[in-house]
Structure 1
Amino acid sequence: MNEFIANATPLRLERFPPLTDDPLQAWDAADELLHQAHQLPDGPVWILNDHFGALACAFATDEPARPLHWINDSFVAHQAVAQNLELNDLPPLSGCYRDMDELAEQPLPAGVVIKLPRSLRLLTWQLDWLNQHLPAGTPVVIGARQKEMPSTLPNLTRTLLDEVHPSRAVKKARLVYGQLSGRHSGMEAVLSWPCEEIDQEVINYPNTYGSQRLDIGARLLLKHLPASDGLIVDLGCGNGVLSVAALKANPDCRVLAVDESWHGIRACRDNTAEFGERIEILWNDCLSEVEGGSADLVLCNPPFHQQQAVTDHIAWQMFRDARRVLKMGGRLRIVGNRHLGYHIKLARLFGGCQTIASNAKFVVLEAQKR
């Protein structure tokens, strides 16, 4: 548990899910700088991409009467902000939303706070949406650690914002101030591309992983999908490519597709629409809401980062949840970078692990619940 100081008030903040002796903080220097130096006028604030609720808690502590509308497509982030508001005895926010489109009927903000996302495609879409729906001149402040600010960020902000100027660096973090311009980047909000491996166009939203091409790991796993006529879980489904492949290869199976990104869920829903009741799609933190002993097969291409932090705890959680959800004799088949050593984790958890396929960078592994 850690403390974030907001106007001399210590806030207790945890990442989600909470981990014993977690070395990672639930905030960074950019969160501190955004709260201390946002320069926004009084009135409602929209907060975008606040990973664990540090900004929400700081603003709520700072000005309890100020309406705060909080937007993040991550299920984990939604759990984290609720957790940290409760930890600090703070009331619920004016609204928590999964998507910008859910804000269309909300009161106009006095300003917008944006924690820089990992994907500039997501930031571009967010600025396009704000320029389309809010008055020109609405102040915007974007914050990030300097090492996370790509070289293309200045050009992007000058293209879509007016009066752009950076702050001084503080603790290796920096802010970018600007005002909405009413301009548009020309980027399509929804992309699609032909995926030969599943013989169909794949639809993707701005924060969908693999939004413009099939990633190399998924390509290898698609070549080595096992057969199953029971319930197949696509854990971390993203745009649903593995779900589509499993449904087409196994006409009698059912699929449960799960992801913590709302944009991933939307894309998966669009890409699997033809399969009707054979597929169920769930916005969730791993498999925390899925019944134990219910699945015959779990497919997984686990991430090795949470926002900007490199970590293996998500993979561990996925593997533990998969084991709980599998029936006796059920199988977990994953793909991962060779250097991550997932075979050690799977052998420890399942009592054994088999290498199905590999190339220079990736390995496909399988473990069976015994």
Structure 2
Amino acid sequence: MEAVAASLEELCSSLSREPDFDAPELQAFDTADLLILTTAAARIRSSAPGSVAIIGDRHGALTLGAAGVLGASGLRTYQDPVLAERALARNADSLGLSDSYANTTLGPELLSGAETVILQLPRGLEALEEIAWKIARFADPGVRIFAGGRVKHMTLAQNEILSRYFGDVSAGLGWRKSRVIQAGDPRPTLASSEPPFPKWGNDRELSFGVAAFGATFGGTKLDHGSRLLLRTLDADWAGDHTHPAKVGGTQTGHAARAAAAPEHVLDLGCGSGVLAVSAALALPTATVVASDQSDAAVRSTALTAEAAGVASRLVIHRADGAEAVSDAWADLVLLNPPFHTGATVHAGVGHRLIRDCARILRPGGELRMVFNSHLGYRPLLEHVIGPVRQLARDATFTVLAATRR
């Protein structure tokens, strides 16, 4: 094991996070990647081409380790974040391994005939449940799963979810603060049942249902930060969806109004699509774009928009930040930024998105943003965008509006 781990660690140490968010304290791999691959090494080495599927590879360690050290070919890989796909592609190109894998969607394209699945455990239990159901439904009946993570992020609930869909589930010994769960023997009754995702939810403050696939931030619920942000918009748009009240301007509080209603709106990091769909309903003449780097999020937003009757008026992109729209395009950007990258809390992710907003806002356009109050984004907003006013604040969250100078 140690010799394989050393070879894998040498390869993984050459990997870059680019173009994903990077910082000195962040790495392109961790010991969970090494442990998953070393635990599954014998099975991967003896696998037929095209029989290994990889889920949750963050920057290429699993895919390129399986190909470059363990000799696997015809790998099929699913990565929810678009930046993970791009980092894998860059790293594969630098190692001459671009032909060793193909990115696919999370379904039969990925899993049909798969005899081995290697998985970085997702952060959320619902994401794990969707993955487990799809493996049980589409993979080879003899499939073996090697699912790993850092011990501090693992719970017994993960074993319980896997046990719903597989008759054989066992946890291995810890190694360098990581652990691997193995699973096999798909339960045929559950695997042939109705898919558990997407799920649907309703909220008393929304006039439409909310769809969510497993990895979608917030699931079917309206998270507290988005709820607070949405209330500031309701104060601007309430009561007249044909001629909506204006947003922006230089006044303070919810009475603030601009000269005209926004015509170009971007929901940046759209999640399940609540803010984008709310904007499309309230501003029937506006062009509304929803963007998220998560595959699960854009699929959820599409279903939420369809159920709300605004699918034809909503443009949805899986994209890095605001790259889907041009410079000085937006009258209004709505942002509830993530405060983590993977399992690591890091305010730099929000900083990156704020700087992107500065590029795409027109002069006089507005960024309306909600965030955990302790993160203190206001100085950056004032520096890179312009004058800032506070619209709402509670014990946890703050909503600020920044006008592009």
TM range (shorter): over 0.9
**Matched residue, 2:224:** 216
**Matched residue, 1:148:** 153
Q: Is the aligned partner of 1:332 residue 2:339? A: no
1:214 to partner: Cα distance: 0.8
1:365 to partner: Cα distance: 0.5
SS of equivalent to 2:163: helix
2:327 to 292, 304, 310: 292
**Matched residue, 2:383:** 348
Q: Distance in 1 between matches of 2:196 and 2:8?
A: 41
Q: Is the 8 A contact 2:381 2:402 kept in 1?
A: yes
**Matched residue, 1:82:** 89
1:167-206 C-alpha deviation (Å, 9 max, x unpaired): 2111010111121323428772121111232211111112
**Matched residue, 1:167:** 172
Q: Distance in 2 between matches of 1:133 and 1:8?
A: 32
**Matched residue, 1:138:** 143
1:297 to partner: Cα distance: 0.7
1:348 to partner: Cα distance: 2.3
SS of equivalent to 2:209: strand
Q: Is the 8 A contact 1:198 1:244 kept in 2?
A: no
**Matched residue, 1:265:** 298
Correspondence 1:249-328 to 2 at 5 A: 249-273=282-306, 274-328=309-363
1:308 to partner: Cα distance: 0.6
1:150-172 C-alpha deviation (Å, 9 max, x unpaired): 13122223332233222211101
Q: 1:45 to 1:327 in 2, by over 3 A?
A: same
SS of equivalent to 2:278: helix
Q: Is the 8 A contact 1:193 1:203 kept in 2?
A: yes
Q: Is the aligned partner of 1:15 residue 2:17? A: yes
1:96 to partner: Cα distance: 0.3
Give the TM-score normalised by the residue count of structure 1: 0.92
**Matched residue, 1:53:** 60
Q: Distance in 2 between matches of 1:276 and 1:169?
A: 47
Q: Distance in 1 between matches of 2:33 and 2:64?
A: 11
SS of equivalent to 1:256: strand
Give the TM-score normalised by the residue count of structure 2: 0.85
1:47 to partner: Cα distance: 0.5
1:20 to partner: Cα distance: 6.7
Q: Is the 8 A contact 1:140 1:180 kept in 2?
A: no
Q: Is the 8 A contact 1:136 1:182 kept in 2?
A: no
Q: Distance in 1 between matches of 2:324 and 2:92?
A: 22
1:259 to partner: Cα distance: 0.6
SS of equivalent to 1:22: coil
Q: 1:117 to 1:276 in 2, by over 3 A?
A: closer
1:281 to partner: Cα distance: 0.6
1:121 to 126, 142, 145: 126
**Structure 1 letter corresponding to 2:392:** A
Q: Is the aligned partner of 1:110 residue 2:115? A: yes
Q: What is the aligned residue count? A: 365
**Matched residue, 2:243:** none
Q: Is the 8 A contact 1:73 1:97 kept in 2?
A: no
Q: Is the 8 A contact 1:82 1:92 kept in 2?
A: no
Q: 1:254 to 1:90 in 2, by over 3 A?
A: same
1:297-346 C-alpha deviation (Å, 9 max, x unpaired): 10000010111111122211111111100111111010011111111221
1:69 to 71, 76, 79: 76
Q: Distance in 1 between matches of 2:360 and 2:327?
A: 4
Q: Is the 8 A contact 2:89 2:98 kept in 1?
A: no
1:7 to partner: Cα distance: 4.6
Q: Distance in 1 between matches of 2:20 and 2:79?
A: 19
1:125-160 C-alpha deviation (Å, 9 max, x unpaired): 111111111233311111111111113122223332
**Matched residue, 1:244:** 277
Q: Distance in 2 between matches of 1:189 and 1:132?
A: 13
Q: Is the 8 A contact 2:211 2:220 kept in 1?
A: no
1:56 to partner: Cα distance: 1.0
Q: Which has the larger radius of gyration?
A: 2
Q: Distance in 2 between matches of 1:142 and 1:7?
A: 17
1:21 to partner: Cα distance: 5.2
1:89 to partner: Cα distance: 2.6
Q: Which runs of 5+ in 1 are unaligned?
A: none
Q: Distance in 2 between matches of 1:342 and 1:368?
A: 14
**Structure 2 letter corresponding to 1:234:** D
2:181 to 172, 176, 183: 176
Higher helix content, 1 or 2: 2
Higher strand content, 1 or 2: 1
Q: Distance in 2 between matches of 1:8 and 1:295?
A: 44
